[in-house]
Amino acid sequence: MPPSAGEDSKVFVRRMLVEVLAGREDPEGFFAMCVSVLGHRETSSRFLPLIQPLSTANGALHAALTSIHTDYFSKTQDDELELALSLSLVEMDDHRLSSTSQESRPQRPADGPNKPTAVSQGSSRVPRAGVIASGKKRDSPQTGASVKANSPQTNNTPEHAFKESDAMMNDANLSPSEKPKRSKNRRQRRKGAGRQVVGLPRSPSAPPPVLLWFRRDLRLGDNPSLTGSLEVGAPVIPVFIWSPEEEEGPGITVAVGGACKYWLHQALSCFSASLERIGSHLVFLEANTSSLHTLKELVKETGARTVLANALYEPWLKERDDAVVSALQKDGVVCKTFHSYCLRDPYSVSTEGVGLRGIGSVSHFMTCCRQNPGSALGAPLDSPVSLPTPARWPVGVPLNTLGLARMPRRKDGTTIDWAANIRKSWDFSEEGASDRLEAFLNDGVYRYEKESGRADAPNTSCLSPYLHFGQLSPRWLLWDAKGARCRPPKFQRKLAWRDLAYWQLTMFPDLPWESLRPPYKALRWSSDGGHLKAWQRGRTGYPLVDAAMRQLWLTGWMNNYMRHVVASFLIAYLYLPWQEGYRWFQDTLVDADVAIDAMMWQNGGMCGLDHWNFVMHPVDAAMTCDPYGSYVRKWCPELADLPDDLIHKPWKCPPSMLRRAGVVFGQTYAERIVTDLEERRSRSLQDVALVRREFGQYVDKHSGCDLVPLPPRLVSQALGSAHRDAGLVAEGKQFLLPVITRMEFKHQQEDPDADAASNPYNAVLKGYVSRKRDETVAFLNERDFTASVMHEGVQRRERLESNYRRMEGLPQPPAPRGRARRTPTAKDKFSVAPSGAVSSVR
Ligand SMILES: Cc1cc2nc3c(=O)[nH]c(=O)nc-3n(C[C@H](O)[C@H](O)[C@H](O)COP(=O)(O)OP(=O)(O)OC[C@H]3O[C@@H](n4cnc5c(N)ncnc54)[C@H](O)[C@@H]3O)c2cc1C
């Protein structure tokens, strides 16, 4: 970075020194820069006096710089020549980069044939945010932030460029100029996190410190508030305040259940260690009264004038944060929140121009995001390599005091360590997240599109807890996923699902406990405590369900397909209310996430905005997710000796086979808690028909769809475009919107007493019934390879065509229309999508 016009070289050196202290420049680079700016003689005579103040504040850095200086000036002429050559290369690079982009911070190439030997490898994976170095602040693409990531080296890696037609680019709003790099990025990110400590001088005249309030963003990489804190140019005090009442919110959210608390404890411990590696640490505090009160005390104690945090989107936490911000601002404290928890800020998503038809489905959500794009997502931010420390740290409490990992005790005083298996199953650190991501992108991702349902193979990313606790940012995940060799659209859409859940929660704050479709509250839900307990403990007598529930209990996780299987069993076959499932998941999942969990359980419980158009059968589903029984063998070892074709239905085994396998029902393995699955399904359907009749005002006469009361935000969006949204009728105060409704329900309405088997839209999934299933998949994969090569060729041509049209100002050809999962067809009278008829009651 050359000095700006008129800048005194001494001032420039000081400015560069701040960069070194903040970890954005390494000592060798700094020295090289000094030689090039001050010149050989000046550096020889003035360098040591210039860095003298460091000798007391940061002895290690001072010693490092002194030794570089001594080394350099004790070299022979030949050495000097070599170094000078290297320096001029550095300079050339710097000038070239700065002239290419005025805004981007000049970086030395981290590798490549021309890498100057005298310059260390401190360069980062992507150009860093426009922070102090440039002297300019720029608005972040993410809300509320004043930090922005520069575009990474544009136009220099065409092979990594995003396809313009790439769905995810539209979905996630990544700018086309922001090109992801390959796995090198992930490795470099990890390397960066482990680099040497460089601390700021603890000068008594340092500016007032910044309070960096960590909540669910326990990472160094791509952390906007952390990067923002460096911009302030003041010591940074990272704090974590534990306030269980505030986390829980107004209803029964079980926001931080047992498994989550345990994860949080471990994650905090790992994160504190990461902060220590960069010369800082995390101050733990308990909010005795409220977080606001604790923050006010901290402000008083430390003299901080700035509080920074990444935004949370649960409505009750947002409300709390808004109150904290306004109270602190009244006291003259600058407060800033940064967006990073989701790809899209859920409060910025609008249905304007899209309407409400199909609301609740991910395709509707993605259309809303495309139609109303927010600010660009930007590139992930690097991990800082140091954090300026305050002269005096506030007094915190030990992490253990927060009681997040407290284990119950037996009467004899011994501890019940229920988390032992969770500990064995996960690495709770940010590096653990990176490793998982890397492993997934190198392996599981290749099977994701077709085989993500398999419970017996690690075909999904297993990143959900890391995303939940912010040990990996969704932006970074998307960035790496888009830069990977294999990019299944299905995986990238999952992040849209995540955002959709947060959007729903912001519109329906009571999503975790209140059914959105009123009639279904009146269903004959069961209150059989025995059934619930059997389901929770994995003792239903259905091996697939039991295996999944035991995996959940032991590891805190199960894959998406298995979550559907156990949820279907609880709701469609045991008639237990979805809230029971939700609460159990919240307590036992390490990734328990109020927004996602509530949305999924509402949908599964027939009450959400989007009905699942399927019911998983507890035996047939095994064809898809555990065709050889190895998943069941792992989690229900008492059934291990049963043959593949009977392991999912042991009650069908002849007594001799059971004897040989050592299976005794009611002793070694549970009896089935319900046996009449078909009858139960029929009754469930009849019950639904009954309540839909009883609460006819919540069923749209025209389409047969359920009607859901609209939240005020959607009403105002819809009314704002009333002329386009022709269906909205403002007759009363409560607006009702027809929503996606399972076809079998609509049909059942016509013949309420019919049994499930005679319903042509019976939603029970049969699973893949094919003995040659794996061979077929292998064949398809092979064929797909050829197809994908051809597909890429076509896409390249389309891209060129599109670029040409853009340059020539010609209109783009219309986008090809994809086939949505629930696209209605004219032939099917029950698949008429809810449309115009928005009615109102009262
Ligand atoms: C009844 C039920 C309850 C669920 N509860 C939770 C929960 O509490 N927390 C949670 O993170 N996920 C939940 N899910 C969604 C999904 O099952 C998990 O996100 C997924 O299994 C996590 O594994 P993964 O990281 O390997 O997912 P991948 O398939 O690799 O997906 C990558 C990421 O996308 C997101 N994602 C995936 N599927 C969904 C989805 N359907 N909705 C929203 N986001 C999704 C997750 O953040 C996930 O980590 C639930 C699903 C069901 C059916």
Residues 447-491 pLDDT 10s: 999 899 999 999 999 999 999 999 999 999 999 999 998 999 999
- Compute, in angstroms, the gap from residue 338 CA to the centroid of ligand 1: 24
State percent of the chain over pLDDT 90.
59
Atom of ligand 1 nearest to the CA of 559: 21
Question: Residue 762 CB: number of other CB atoms within 10 A?
Answer: 20
- Compute, in angstroms, the gap from residue 563 CA to the centroid of ligand 1: 9
- Compute, in angstroms, the gap from residue 300 CA to the centroid of ligand 1: 42
**159 Cβ contact partners less than 8 Å away, ≥ 6 residues apart:** none
Q: Is 462's C-beta closer than 6 angstroms to any atom of ligand 1?
A: yes
Q: Which residue owns the Cα nearest ligand 1 atom 43?
A: 498
| HEC string for 49-116 | HHHCCHHHHCHHHHHHHHHHHHHHHCCCHHHHHHHHHHHHHHHHHHHHHHHHCCCCCCCCCCCCCCCC
Instruction: Give the integer Cα–Cα distance in Å for 263 and 425.
Output: 11
User: What is the pLDDT, as a whole number, of residue 175?
Assistant: 44
593 labelled binding-site residue = yes
96-105, 183-192, 752-761: which has the highest mean pLDDT?
A: 752-761
Q: Which residue owns the Cα nearest ligand 1 atom 19?
A: 464
| pLDDT (tens digit per residue) in 673-696 | 999 999 999 999 999 999 999 999
Instruction: Give the integer Cα–Cα distance in Å for 795 and 787.
Output: 12
Instruction: Give the integer Cα–Cα distance in Å for 274 and 462.
Output: 22
Q: Is 498's C-beta closer than 6 angstroms to any atom of ligand 1?
A: yes
In this structure, which amino acid lies at residue 539?
A: R
Q: Which residue owns the Cα nearest ligand 1 atom 21?
A: 560
Q: Is 585's C-beta closer than 6 angstroms to any atom of ligand 1?
A: yes
Question: Residue 369 CB: number of other CB atoms within 10 A?
Answer: 24
- Compute, in angstroms, the gap from residue 547 CA to the centroid of ligand 1: 19
Q: Is 596's C-beta closer than 6 angstroms to any atom of ligand 1?
A: yes
For a ligand 1 pocket test, name from 494, 611, 616 the mutation site with the most ligand atoms within 8 angstroms of its C-beta. Answer: 494
User: What is the pLDDT, as a whole number, of residue 826?
Assistant: 45
Q: Is 600's C-beta closer than 6 angstroms to any atom of ligand 1?
A: yes
Residue 442, pLDDT > 70, answer: yes
- Compute, in angstroms, the gap from residue 560 CA to the centroid of ligand 1: 6
At 775, is the pLDDT very low, low, confident or very high (cuts 50, 70, 90)?
A: low
Atom of ligand 1 nearest to the CA of 465: 11
At 789, is the pLDDT very low, low, confident or very high (cuts 50, 70, 90)?
A: confident
Q: Is 591's C-beta closer than 6 angstroms to any atom of ligand 1?
A: yes
| pLDDT (tens digit per residue) in 607-654 | 999 988 899 999 999 999 999 999 999 999 999 999 999 999 999 999
Q: Is 467's C-beta closer than 6 angstroms to any atom of ligand 1?
A: yes
703 labelled binding-site residue = no
Sheet holding 283-286, edge to edge: 283-286, 236-242, 210-214, 306-310, 334-338
Of residues 787 and 816, more confidently modeled: 787
- Compute, in angstroms, the gap from residue 532 CA to the centroid of ligand 1: 23
Residue 161, pLDDT > 90, answer: no
Find residue 285's DSSP bridge partners.
Answer: 241
Q: Is 610's C-beta closer than 6 angstroms to any atom of ligand 1?
A: no
Q: Is 501's C-beta closer than 6 angstroms to any atom of ligand 1?
A: yes
For a ligand 1 pocket test, name from 459, 480, 591 the mutation site with the most ligand atoms within 8 angstroms of its C-beta. Answer: 591
Q: Is 253's C-beta closer than 6 angstroms to any atom of ligand 1?
A: no
User: What is the pLDDT, as a whole number, of residue 755?
Assistant: 87
Give the β-pairing of 706-709 and 734-739: antiparallel
User: What is the pLDDT, as a whole number, of residue 221?
Assistant: 97
667 sits in which H/E element: none
State percent of the chain over pLDDT 70.
75
Least confident of 214-218, 554-558, 723-727, 820-824: 820-824
Instruction: Give the integer Cα–Cα distance in Å for 474 and 502.
Output: 13
DSSP-assigned letter for residue 208: P
- Cβ-contact 127, 115 below 8 angstroms: no
758 labelled binding-site residue = no
Atom of ligand 1 nearest to the CA of 604: 1
Of residues 706 and 730, more confidently modeled: 706
448 labelled binding-site residue = yes
**488 Cβ contact partners less than 8 Å away, ≥ 6 residues apart:** 445, 448, 449
Find residue 238's DSSP bridge partners.
Answer: 212
Q: Which residue owns the Cα nearest ligand 1 atom 17?
A: 560
User: Which residue, among 385, 16, 457, has the nearest Cα to 189 in the 3D structure?
Assistant: 385
At 776, is the pLDDT very low, low, confident or very high (cuts 50, 70, 90)?
A: low
User: What is the pLDDT, as a whole number, of residue 782?
Assistant: 66
28-32, 389-393, 731-735: which has the highest mean pLDDT?
A: 389-393
Least confident of 11-15, 158-162, 259-263: 158-162
Report the pLDDT averaged over residues 188-216: 64
User: What is the pLDDT, as a whole number, of residue 768?
Assistant: 53
At 185, is the pLDDT very low, low, confident or very high (cuts 50, 70, 90)?
A: low
Structure tokens at 188: 């470099």
- Cβ-contact 248, 364 below 8 angstroms: no
- Compute, in angstroms, the gap from residue 516 CA to the centroid of ligand 1: 21
Report the pLDDT averaged over residues 804-827: 56
Of residues 663 and 93, more confidently modeled: 663
- Cβ-contact 626, 456 below 8 angstroms: yes
Q: Is 260's C-beta closer than 6 angstroms to any atom of ligand 1?
A: no
User: Which residue, among 70, 51, 71, has the nearest Cα to 61 in the 3D structure?
Assistant: 51
Q: Which residue owns the Cα nearest ligand 1 atom 22?
A: 464
336 backbone dihedrals φ, ψ, rounded to 5°: -140, 135
- Compute, in angstroms, the gap from residue 349 CA to the centroid of ligand 1: 21
- Compute, in angstroms, the gap from residue 769 CA to the centroid of ligand 1: 26
User: What is the pLDDT, as a whole number, of residue 828?
Assistant: 42
| pLDDT (tens digit per residue) in 285-321 | 999 899 999 999 999 999 999 999 999 999 999 999 9
Q: Is 504's C-beta closer than 6 angstroms to any atom of ligand 1?
A: no
Q: Is 589's C-beta closer than 6 angstroms to any atom of ligand 1?
A: yes
| Burial degree of 667 (CB within 10 A; 0-12, 13-18, 19+) | exposed
CA distances from 258 to 247, 345, 418, 419, 461 (A): 13, 28, 10, 9, 23
**Scanning the structure block, which residue is given the tokens 């032939």?**
827
Instruction: Give the integer Cα–Cα distance in Å for 327 and 610.
Output: 39
User: Which residue, among 480, 489, 482, 485, has the nearest Cα to 450 in the 3D structure?
Assistant: 489
- Cβ-contact 235, 280 below 8 angstroms: no
Of residues 71 and 701, more confidently modeled: 701
For a ligand 1 pocket test, name from 475, 600, 613, 765 the mutation site with the most ligand atoms within 8 angstroms of its C-beta. Answer: 600
User: What is the pLDDT, as a whole number, of residue 204?
Assistant: 52
Please provide the distance, in angstroms rounded to a whole number, between the alpha carbons at the two ends of the chain.
67
- Cβ-contact 758, 767 below 8 angstroms: no
| pLDDT (tens digit per residue) in 342-360 | 999 999 999 999 999 999 9
- Cβ-contact 209, 302 below 8 angstroms: yes
| pLDDT (tens digit per residue) in 520-542 | 999 999 999 999 999 999 999 99
User: What is the pLDDT, as a whole number, of residue 140?
Assistant: 40
- Compute, in angstroms, the gap from residue 464 CA to the centroid of ligand 1: 6
User: What is the pLDDT, as a whole number, of residue 840?
Assistant: 45
260 labelled binding-site residue = no
Residue 749, pLDDT > 70, answer: yes
At 499, is the pLDDT very low, low, confident or very high (cuts 50, 70, 90)?
A: very high
- Cβ-contact 425, 556 below 8 angstroms: yes
- Cβ-contact 110, 126 below 8 angstroms: no
Give the mean pLDDT of the chain.
81
Q: Is 460's C-beta closer than 6 angstroms to any atom of ligand 1?
A: yes
At 757, is the pLDDT very low, low, confident or very high (cuts 50, 70, 90)?
A: confident
- Cβ-contact 680, 573 below 8 angstroms: yes
User: What is the pLDDT, as a whole number, of residue 666?
Assistant: 97
User: What is the pLDDT, as a whole number, of residue 312?
Assistant: 98
User: What is the pLDDT, as a whole number, of residue 799?
Assistant: 72
| pLDDT (tens digit per residue) in 220-251 | 999 999 999 999 999 999 999 999 999 999 89
- Cβ-contact 260, 232 below 8 angstroms: no
588 labelled binding-site residue = no
Q: Is 592's C-beta closer than 6 angstroms to any atom of ligand 1?
A: yes
For a ligand 1 pocket test, name from 560, 576, 582, 588 the mutation site with the most ligand atoms within 8 angstroms of its C-beta. Answer: 560
756 labelled binding-site residue = no
Residue 249, phi-psi category: left (phi > 0), alpha (psi -120 to 50), beta (remainder)? left
Instruction: Give the integer Cα–Cα distance in Å for 513 and 506.
Output: 14
| Burial degree of 99 (CB within 10 A; 0-12, 13-18, 19+) | exposed
- Cβ-contact 368, 354 below 8 angstroms: yes
595 labelled binding-site residue = no
| pLDDT (tens digit per residue) in 361-405 | 999 999 999 999 988 899 999 999 999 999 999 999 999 999 999
Atom of ligand 1 nearest to the CA of 592: 8
